[in-house]
Amino acid sequence: MLLRLFKGTGPGVIFLIAITLGALWISAFLNPQMPELAIYETSPMPLYSIVRFLIGNHPLLGVIFSFLIVMVMIFLITSFNTSVFFINERTFLPAVIYILLSAIFPQCQVLNPVLPSALFLMVAVMKIMETYRKPGTAFNFFDAGILISIGSLFYMNVIWFGLLVMIGIALLRTGNIKEIAISVLGLVTPYFIVAGLYYVLGKDLRAFLSDIIYNLFGESPGYTFSRFSIIVLILSGLIILVSIVFLLMQMSSKKVKARKIFFLFLWAFFISLSLYFSLPSISVEMIWITGIPACYILAHYFVFVRKKILPEIMFSGFFLLIMLLQIL
């Protein structure tokens, strides 16, 4: 029943999404918290430092800031599929699933640098896909590199997704060395600008370099998983695994552009998982980034799977467990 409701496209679905988003964030607004002392808090990157300075010691303002970015994110997630139409159905389901996935860790519903960096990453992916069948040198890769690099000035570990630009070149182009070079130039340009500003303002460039290294390879405080959150994560993992297998089985029947988009999202998903399990500096905040490819993969499964009862049970169970997790 819930899946059928959210698969629609009418004004009623938008209202349901707004209610769901509000319900999953109400506790964050009623009991706003200051961010935990993760690496990105103790050694913030330059752009996040500016945000923290503007927010100050006002946790409610931090929650409002993050909530507004989530609203922009779900708009971009929906409009990307609407404009490119790679799921082959107009649906708000990716936005709904992103809202649900990002609510698995209520402690992340505070001021954090991952959300703005995820926003820049989402726009970068859109820029990469604009190069499909574009004649000549595609300078969109330069734009994508800059966007990811700017995102890393909020949350340093998003810089690893520069690999996604290279993967995009391999998927969409014919091995143009110039495009590889301009994408690398895009990735390093914001750092040259920041280093120049530090030099002009007389700030310590060594401290900036030290912050970069610490944000990449330092050890973030561990996250304590409750038993209930483990249950939700296991269920989420099983649904995502089923969705990936279903997607791969359906891939040959899709149009070329849709196939390339899904392959790009699969790469993004596996990169985010690899980073989480391999780098001690990354913790559960990565859900804001992992949720982007995951929401499209899950939406594809729920839209096209022929059996209706099992997906309905899976979606409804996942939805209700997330709601219960927020209440608990």
Domain boundaries, the chain: 2-327
What pLDDT score does 45 carry? 96
Answer for the pair 93, 303: CB distance below 8 angstroms, yes or no: yes
pLDDT band, residue 306 (cuts 50/70/90): confident
pLDDT of 1 strictly over 90: no
Answer for the pair 154, 111: CB distance below 8 angstroms, yes or no: no
Q: What is the mean pLDDT of residues 260-274?
A: 96
pTM above 0.85, yes or no: yes
pLDDT of 151 strictly over 70: yes
Mean pLDDT estimate for the chain: 92
Q: How far is 137 from 43, CA to CA, in rounded Å?
A: 38
What pLDDT score does 136 carry? 65
Nearest Cα to Cα of residue 141 among 170, 168, 163: 168
Express the helix, strand and coil content of the chain in percent, nearest 5 each: 75, 0, 25
Q: How far is 187 from 209, CA to CA, in rounded Å?
A: 16
pLDDT of 97 strictly over 90: yes
Residue 208, φ and ψ in degrees, nearest 5: -65, -45
